[in-house]
Chains A and B, each alone.
Chain A
Amino acid sequence: MVSGARLEVRGVSHAFALEKRALPVLQDIDFVAQPGEFVALLGPSGCGKSTLLRLVAGLEAPSEGRLLVDGAPVTGTDPSRTIMFQDPTLFPWRTVRGNAQLGPEARGTLAADAPRIEQALSLVGLASFAEAFPHQLSGGMAQRAALARALVNQPRLLMLDEPLGKLDSLTRLAMQRELAALWERERFTALLVTHDVEEAVLLADRVLVLSDRPARICADIRVDRPRPRRRDDAGLVALREEILALLGLAEAA
């Protein structure tokens, strides 16, 4: 078992260059995720949450500010920081197993990691679909395959970019439960981007509520409820109302 990484985001601002004009997307984001903590980033769509994940993953460098993982600055991508996108982005020319072994293959550790690949596939319930091609999978199965592909790399920081956003509601509920169980077992640090308030409070230890673009952290809410959590937990329901009010979406009493 691998311990989670400690993530420090220090005064990070980011802007996109749009035809001579800079479009600010993130403004002075500052927080720390403790090792093994599950942090949800919640905000309106298009506010820059996904951009923050791309910065943490090392796919892009921030315009301003510093990103530190276990005290070391993020300078590029690293398999210990794996991201799972909203689309499964499986390689259509590879089978499910072929997709899952992408990371070890890229690093040349295929032989050593072979047992872990099978383990990850059975963990997400796709052992019997290892030889299937992505187009033969349902949306939920494809997202599970993408999860297996991420887990094979033994991430110490797993970034989830609205991974359940495009699933039907039943599959979504099932996968929320599976994600929670998985995190409790593996205890990696998790960073979940979502615009679903219920999902955020159900899964996370902490919910960072982001404002509209350029995104700032406008609330840091601790979810102190016992696990495994129930959707109808009174504390969670109250928290949900509180967060909705922050977003200006409170239901009229």
Chain B
Amino acid sequence: MSATTLGARLAAPARPAPLWPSGWAAGLAWLGAAAVILLLPDADDLGRTAELGFLAATLGGLLLLAAIAAAVPALGARLAPLRAAGPWLLVLALALLAWELATAKLDWLPRPFFAAPQSILEVFTDDYARLGESVGRSLLLVLPGYLLGAAIGFLFGVAMGWSRLVGYWAHPVVRLIGPLPATAWLPIAFFAFASSRGASTFLVALASFFPVTVLTWSGVSAVSKSYYDVARTMGASPWFLVRKVAVPAAMPSVFVGLFMGLGASFSVLVVAEMMGVKAGLGWYMQWAQGWAAYANMYAALLVMAVMCSSAVTLLFRVRDRLLSWQKGLVRW
């Protein structure tokens, strides 16, 4: 074999194996779930059973098509991201099947506390207008509140970590009021803010403020003294030390705070929307609970989980860009 052909062989990218077993298994599992949903009679009178069955069947069909396409070299590489999700797609099909059997088909779990999958689908198809408006209103509450709390928390944390005086006075206060539940703030929030929008933004902001403050503060105070020494010998001003030494060195810790604050902001949404608003996911959940419409509640919960995890994904993307220097230093 000549050197050039050997080089060409080495340079060829690793092709994924033509057979995609978990893809085949997932496709068949979704088709099986569809068959059970469509063919087995419901134990009670439920809507949207057929639609759910068709959805599952469509997904199963598409997965089988993808599994066939994976064998074609040109398409195999493009399907690589989907291949990684294969085992999860299989498990999800089995979970849907178990859920469908336990609720709609065999009635093992008592309704209305446990909703059947098609009931939740029914919420999306029939109540999408109100649910959609609630998503919009919640986003308009959570995003500004979170960003405001995070921004103030960041500045506060830097000040606490940098200045001994600020740290002395702020540390005990933050430690004392930080862990208080959001509901404890309701009376004060009502009193302090004229509008219910201001009050609920305050609660959401408070929820993100605490973790961002604490983690920024601990990040800044953990910065190695020798970094400051190096910068000082080169003529750095205190302001330069804060901006170009303390803050970048604390960023990994700040992102942990931003991440924790995001979860906290979403979880106070329900409390924040107790305050006289007429739409929003938290409001929707409470309203649904009041009418014992648990399927609606689960649907709203599902939407909220998807929203929160999308926000976390977005945050991770930002972190990966900003902290790419950490690659190779920590397990990524």
Interface residues of A (CB under 8 A from B): 57-59, 77-79, 81-83, 85, 87, 89, 91-94, 102-103, 105-107, 133, 135-136, 149, 153
Contacts and interface: CB of A to CB of B under 8 A. Distances in A.
Interface residues of B, number: 23
Contacts of B69: none
Contacts of A87: 226
Given A92-B325, A93-B249, A135-B328, A106 B226 contact: no
B251 A93 contact: yes
B244 interface: yes
A83 B233 CA distance: 7
B234 A82 contact: yes
Given A89-B227, A106-B237, A106-B240, A59 B328 contact: no
Contacts of A78: 233, 235
Contacts of B235: 77-79, 103, 106-107, 153
Given A83-B233, A103-B235, 18 more contacts: A58-B233, A59-B233, A77-B232, A77-B233, A79-B233, A81-B233, A82-B234, A83-B229, A85-B226, A91-B245, A91-B248, A102-B230, A105-B240, A106-B231, A106-B235, A106-B237, A107-B235, A153-B235
A56 to B, nearest CB: 10
Interface string B235-270: 111001000110011010000000000000000000
A106 to B, nearest CB: 4
The 8 closest A-B pairs by CB, nearest first: A103-B234, A106-B236, A79-B235, A93-B325, A93-B248, A89-B226, A107-B235, A77-B232
B329 interface: yes
Given A87-B226, A91-B227, A93-B251, A106 B328 contact: no
30 contacts: A57-B233, A59-B229, A77-B235, A78-B233, A82-B234, A83-B229, A83-B233, A85-B230, A87-B226, A89-B224, A89-B227, A91-B227, A91-B249, A92-B325, A93-B248, A93-B249, A93-B323, A94-B325, A102-B234, A102-B236, A102-B244, A103-B234, A106-B231, A106-B237, A106-B240, A106-B244, A107-B234, A133-B328, A149-B230, A153-B234
Interface in B287-328: 323, 325-326, 328
A59 B121 CA distance: 68
Contacts of A105: 240, 244
Contact of B329 (A58, A92, A106): A92
A72 B227 CA distance: 27
A63 to B, nearest CB: 19
Instruction: Name the residue among B236, B245, B248 with the largest chain A CB count within 10 angstroms.
Output: B236
Contacts of B325: 92-94, 133, 135
B237 to A, nearest CB: 7
Nearest to B228: A59
Contacts of B326: 92
Contacts of B244: 102, 105-106
Nearest to A153: B234
Contacts of B236: 102, 106
Contacts of A85: 226, 229-230
A135 B237 contact: no
A92 B236 CA distance: 18
B24 to A, nearest CB: 42
Interface string B106-120: 000000000000000
B232 A59 contact: yes
A91 B195 CA distance: 47
A79 B229 CA distance: 12
B254 to A, nearest CB: 12
A107 B236 CA distance: 7
Nearest to A60: B229
A133 B324 CA distance: 10
A58 B234 CA distance: 11
Contacts of A135: 325, 328-329
Nearest to B230: A89
B322 to A, nearest CB: 9
A136 B323 CA distance: 15
A133 B327 CA distance: 10
Contacts of B230: 83, 85, 89, 102, 149
Max chain A C-beta neighbours (<10 A), residue from B226, B229, B323: B229
A81 B249 CA distance: 25
A89 B231 CA distance: 10
A182 to B, nearest CB: 18
A58 B236 CA distance: 13
Contact of B231 (A57, A58, A102, A133): A102
